[in-house]
Amino acid sequence: MGQQFTHLDEAGNLKMVDISAKVPTERMAVASGEVVMNKKTLVMISEKAIPKGDVFTVAKIAGVVAAKRTAELIPLCHPLQLSAISVEIIPDDSLPGVHVTATVKTNGRTGVEMEALTAVSVAALTIYDMLKAVDKSMTIGEIRLIEKHGGKSGDYQYG
């Protein structure tokens, strides 16, 4: 007996998973990633010397907007009514660079893992965009789900 894929019907056609029978529950997901950059670039951010403006504020806004629009970007994601979204960006001299973390919550029928991962990804891309004029060697990486709570599959904690 083969594995049953949730996004395929019996004939192998793509479909959005039917969640209408699921009971809404509290759901939360945390995702993280990092942007590694030259130490000089990190100093420029802290000194607010970036020509395009306040990097962290713009990236946080971009992450929030991205979480809200995940269903428009990922074809088989359900549009969700999110109850909370937060994006944190923490400088780290040891990278050098920044850690980006997003926490997303809802009371719904499906999880918010993709919304958290999308928020981190777009916040990191926004950081890259705002800094590319001064540092083209940046890398974006280590994007992953850190934890999730709620739903039929239960809780998950990375590592």
Contact criterion met (CB below 8 Å) for 104 and 112:
yes
Contact criterion met (CB below 8 Å) for 68 and 83:
no
Q: Is 103 exposed, middle or buried (0-12, 13-18, 19+ CB in 10 A)?
A: buried
Using DSSP, state whether 128 is helix, strand or coil: helix
Q: Which residues are catalytic?
A: 129
Distance of alpha carbon 98 from alpha carbon 42, whole angstroms: 8
